[in-house]
Structure 1
Amino acid sequence: MQKNKENLKQLIRAGRGLIPAHTVIRNGNLVNVMSSEIYLADVAIYEDTIVAIGDVTDYIGPETKTIDATGKYLVPGLIDGHLHSECSKLSITSFAKAVVPCGTTSIVSGLDEYISVSGLEGLHEIFAEVKASPLKVFWGAPYKTPYTFPQSTVAFNFTEEVHKEVQQWPECFGVWETVREAVQVEDEDTLGAIEQAFKNRLPIFGCAPMVGGKDLNGYLCAGIRLDHESYDHTEVVEKMRKGMHMVIRESSVTHFLKENIRAVTEVNPYLARRVSFCTDDVTATDVLEKGHVDNVVRLAIAEGVEPMTAIQMATINSAEAYRIDHLVGSISPGRIADILLVDSPENFQVEAVITNGRLVAENRKLNYDLKAPARSSVLSSALKCKKTTREDFEYKVDIENGQAKVLSMDVKGPFVRKRRDVTVKVQNSIVIPDTEQDVLMVSVLERFGRNGNKSLAFCSGWNLKKGAMASSAAPDDNNLIVMGADASDMSIAVNHLIENGGGQVVVADGEIIEFLPLPVGGIASDEDAEKIAHREALLTKAANQLGCNLPEPLMYMFFLPITAIPDYAITDVGPVDCIALNTFDPILELIQD
């Protein structure tokens, strides 16, 4: 994507037909997202760039390769407008192998989970990995790390001073996931990141769930351009009427498209041109079974969106929202040659994928062997925390026997936790988890060797009858989270992850039931999606056998440290009231026998 005088001269000459194209696509039906038309047209490609559309006879030389697209539709490569690829537990290489054959050729990401565990040094290694893959990553510098309020512990803190450096990098296309709370409390580092973005003319990407009225007005006055977090279509409408681009999310655990697309199908069809798509957090299982952004296109069409409009939402709308439409988002001269061959706009089944001018995938598979790079110690998954004992997960109080009224964080969806007051037993000065009342212990342990923090609180909604679950992948700080009905099993789960360099584990009756290793930073794996999906299924089955009936038990658990969505969360500094933005004591009252 870098331009210089010499390659510009070559591209200009190729565009004028003075030198032959390297590749031409013949006889396809061009889906022109710029003009909302479909018509027969050829495409000429020089190196990685589209140089002509229409009749390209004059662009063909003796060495020009031809791709026959007879009967197929030519669609721009799809763009995921907000994605934490790390939450799939797939490395960039493995993720590219899974989603590029589905037609996703670009993602917008902060790569923030990698930053939280490896800092800028690890980020540079990920940038190198991206360049070797067929998947483009338009990187937004995280507005700060960690995202949590109060501030939790991560391996690297992204500050205003860091922004002064990284916003000058060629990889930087904006400021990533600027949460409403940080703006509202006038956080100095956040405002500093925004100040730098204005100086550098970079867009500011938002994250403002369930915000409206005066709070939304104040947020927009900070210069936020777009948002990917709306919980109903009325929220979408208000934000769009106030000038925002909206990125509708359809993830593996938050299925918002059906509700949010009503802003277009029921309220105002003219809003469509400023709506785009993202998946945010997806599992390997979902990608294999449903697809990726291509699945979101099909879902939108099923909800009544015209195929052309749905395709625009997945391509040019996203590119324009993120100000990258000069590079991707359309099949136009001067744009990078990311082109899909699909069966029809209505069915939208991707049959072949061209990225950077090269045919890379056919029939849902890459057509070459893409290998992950060797991993340095920077992205090793060593967990720098001490082994635990049962006592680390026993909640001790000042009475010997009696009852404790506790605040249990009750899950109402993957991100929303509400207050639930429950009375449980106290025995030998320990508050006892109560599986009959669905009250479990949950703890987050700092794992970067910075302070040894460890929190402890209560949660509900998982319905575990015994055992424990733990994960070293836990956005947004990726500390070690463990939940369980038994303190001994919780300790065994944590220690297993420490001994094995990270991953996800289910334990029962002192035994390891299932384990998924995550050797890349303790958050991802270089295994193919099929293997990760298989292990995900085994982990879910194990959690189900312990009594949990949530659709994604470990994913619901590893979202508990996110403090950006009301009402409750837990980080290594303690249980958090996400409205008051401070920690709280989960013991509400003690009653002595």
Structure 2
Amino acid sequence: MNDFKNLIQAGAGEIPADMVIKNGQLVNVSTAEIYPAQVAIYKNKIVAVDEDVADYIGPETKIIDAKGKYLVPGMIDGHIHVECSKLSMTSFANAVVPHGTTSIISGLDEYISVIGLKGLPEIFKEIDQTDLKLFWGAPFKTPYTIPQSTIAENIDSDMQKELLKQANVYGVWETVREDIQELDEDTLKTMLYAKAAHKPVWGCSPMARGKKLNQYLMSGVRVDHESYDHQELLEKARKGMNVVVRESSVTHFLEENIRAITENTANVARHVSFCTDDVTATDIAELGHLDHVVSLAIKAGVAPITAIQMATINSAEAYRIDDQVGMIAPNRDADILFVEDLNQFEIDSVISKGKVVEEKATTEVNYSPEIMHSVKAEKLSAADFVYKVPVENGEVTVETIKSVGPFVRKRRDVELAVKDHIIQVDPAKDVALVSVIERFGINGNKSLGFTSGWNLQEGAMASTAAPDDNNLIVMGVNADDMAFAANELVARGGGQIVVKNQQVLSFLPLPIAGIVSEASPEEVVQQEKSILKAARELGSKVADPMFYMTFLPITAIPDLAITDLGPTDCIDLKLFDPVLSVREELK
């Protein structure tokens, strides 16, 4: 109560501000205006935005001269799986806050798949010590996969009912359309609990148009970040959705999606915001974060103030957090960017959580043994990575999961030889084996299927970070190398690895839950580049072979996937046998 009273008194200038910004040009995203203004900050809140705030200055007030720079609200990433950056929360904050990202919307679902809800307090505590704010949405359920793959803890509607009562739960995270389409009762219960709690539901509905979109909207989903083209985005906006344009490290959708704004006279922009979803440490270091996304939008023809709205107030309103963030106004969090030129949109300096971000956090985080020792798979052998059939010698037709970019997989049938009952993987036909191994010590599941589109000529690569279930995934054209790669990751406690002739070409350690690094952003960048170089040595020509491979277990991506249960048809939502036909050799 005393703190609350102090805030109100500070708003009246009866308690001096801790900080005052003078000589700034305010970018008012609420009214789309730019004008001179001074800003007073008390604790971590903005208490005044006026032409003159002299009455708020006391003997201890810190004065910052903006020197005519534009004052822009801190930006909000509307949908991100931080864990896919392989950076710890501390390292991620150090990487993105200087680029103007002061808040993120996330479900921390990759962490949950490994450490469960009971492990999240450690992650929340770490985030609180950084310059970054998290608005957490509890996943609508885990796992997201259909049929359900194996993870450390499953979230169901009974758990959601209790989670939605918590003040730190801002909504329901990433409700996939397939569960609504199939009238999954557990998912529908969560939708009803969210409605009763007045908490927004955030969705995931790639390629949803017409009746499919109408059906999906009837569940109450408010926000969606999965539009594959601008017509899809426009339809979603016209039907009342808050649409998020995704520009990630693997899905560069902004150029296409932004056409809904640049080629349309309707006021679509005010219902559109930005996210990076899955972003690598390398891309953050070389391109930036939301500052890069805003710059891309401006270069595509979006007015600077409109692009800034999309990165700030639009996102805040979409996620119903505009009472806290999204604009520079009284009672909002003191997250302010100093920008010299709005057209270039380069961030000069950042205030976040009411303080100037001057140096990287050096807080040491001591994670519990449960988080640091999460890889529990049994030792594997080459026999686990050979596909056997009843005939001794002959030929088979197999259905491969063909990668067509990171977020589209199509069916490709290939004929392969059979020798001594074993299907012969043929690099010349661009076919590799892929396997997902349950790594939580629950049931020991091991799957095996075929994939193409990677151009692997030798060796194997593997990762214990692979959303949405983060089991161990390994791909290769040599069974001995596949076993060696998988066993090395188990022995080393998690990571990503590329091997050839049972020799390690590159290894990226991920000891935190088997999905996140303890290293600095700069170190992770060098390790990512080493992994990429090693994958190139195996012959792969894919833009980012390791990153693309880790998405293969996601069953919400059309048309095919693979989990620890086996190869999965993402359209029919069922497992499939990759061996289509077997022909015995005539003697």
Q: Secondary structure at the match of 1:453?
A: coil
Partner of 1:26: 22
Amino acid at match of 1:151: Q
Which of 497, 502, 522 is equivalent to 1:510? 502
Show the counterpart of 2:456.
464
SS state at 1:225 partner: strand
1:331 pairs with one of 307, 328, 333: 328
Matches within 5 A, 1:309-348: 309-348=306-345
Cα distance in 2 for partners of 1:9, 1:249 equals 41
Do structure 1's residue 492 and structure 2's residue 488 form an aligned pair?
A: no
Partner in structure 2 of residue 523 of structure 1 = 515
Secondary structure in 1 matching 2:327 = coil
Task: Work out whether 1:194 is the aligned partner of 2:191.
Answer: yes
The one-letter code of the counterpart of 2:402 is D
Match of 1:426 in 2: 418
Q: Report the equivalent of 1:38.
A: 34
Q: Please state if 1:13 is matched with 2:9.
A: yes
Helix, strand or coil at the partner of 1:10: helix
1:580 is aligned to 2:572: yes
Name the stretch that deviates more: 160-169 or 455-464. Answer: 160-169
SS at match of 1:154: coil
How far 1:378 moved relative to its partner? 2.4
- Cα separation, partners in 2 of 1:406 and 1:239, compared to 1, 3 Å: same
Aligned to 2:555: 563
The whole-number CA distance in structure 2 between the counterparts of 1:380 and 1:253 is 28
Matches for 1:199-238 after TM superposition, within 5 Å: 199-238=196-235
Residue of structure 2 equivalent to 1:350:
347
TM-score normalised to the size of structure 1? 0.98
* Correspondence 1:82-161 to 2 at 5 A: 82-161=79-158
1:23/1:66 contact within 8 Å kept: yes
Deviation at 1:171, TM superposition (A): 1.2
Pick one of 37, 44, 53 that aligns with 1:48. Answer: 44
Q: Is there any run of 5+ residues in structure 2 with no aligned partner, and where?
A: none
Rounded to whole Å, the distance in 2 between the matches of 1:45 and 1:543 is 50
Residues 246-325 of structure 1 aligned to structure 2 (within 5 Å): 246-325=243-322
Is 2:114–2:374's contact at 8 Å kept on the other side of the alignment? Answer: no
Q: Does the CA contact (< 8 Å) of 2:94 and 2:360 recur in 1?
A: no
The match for 1:535 is 527
Partner Cα distance (2:541, 2:315) in 1: 36
User: By how many angstroms is 1:376 displaced?
Assistant: 0.5
Whole-angstrom distance in 2 between the partners of 1:39 and 1:438: 59
Counterpart of 1:553? Answer: 545
AA matched with 1:453: N
> Which residue number in structure 1 is paired with residue 59 of structure 2?
62
Kept in 1, the 8 Å contact 2:130–2:361? The answer is no
- Find the counterpart in structure 2 of residue 473 from structure 1: 465
Computed over aligned residues only, the root mean square deviation of the Cα atoms, in angstroms, reads 0.8
| Structure 2 residue corresponding to 1:183, chosen from 180, 183, 188 | 180
2:434 is aligned to: 442
CA distance in 1, matches of 2:540, 2:33: 49
Following TM superposition, by how much is the alpha carbon of 1:112 offset from its aligned partner in structure 2, in angstroms?
Answer: 0.3
Q: Is the 8 A contact 2:129 2:363 kept in 1?
A: no
Give the aligned length: 584
Indicate the percent of aligned positions where both proteins have the same amino acid: 59
Q: Is the 8 A contact 1:454 1:573 kept in 2?
A: yes
Deviation of 1:189 after TM superposition, in Å, equals: 2.0
Deviation at 1:215, TM superposition (A): 1.1
Residue type matched to 1:588 in 2?
A: L
Q: Indicate the SS of the match to 1:542.
A: helix
Q: Deviations over 1:234-281 (max 9, x none)?
A: 000111111101000000010000000000110234000010000000
Name whichever of 555-564 and 344-353 sits farther off.
344-353
Contact preservation (8 Å) 1:28, 1:40: yes
1:105-151, Cα deviation, whole Å (9 max, x unpaired): 00000000000000011111111111111111100010000000000
CA shift, 1:369, in A, is 3.4
In 1, distance between residues paired with 2:365 and 2:186? 34
Does the 8 Å CA contact 1:93/1:526 hold for their aligned counterparts? no
User: Segments of 4+ in structure 1 off by > 4 A?
Assistant: none
Contact 1:145 1:156 in 2 (8 A): yes
Residue by residue over 1:319-338, the C-alpha shift from the partner in whole angstroms, topping out at 9 and shown as x without a partner, is: 00000000000000000000
Partners of 2:198 and 2:57 in 1: CA distance: 40
Q: TM-score, normalised by structure 2?
A: 0.99
Deviations 1:179-225 (A, max 9, x none): 00011111122112111111110000000000111111110000000
Cα displacement (A) at 1:368: 4.6
Contact 1:473/1:503, CA 8 A, preserved across alignment:
yes
Could you say what secondary structure the match of 1:100 adopts? helix
Aligned to 1:380: 372
Q: CA separation in 1, counterparts of 2:106 and 2:360?
A: 25
CA shift for structure 1 position 226: 1.1
> Residue 522 of structure 1 aligns to which amino acid in structure 2?
G
- Alignment partner of 2:332: what SS? coil
CA distance in 1, matches of 2:265, 2:386: 54
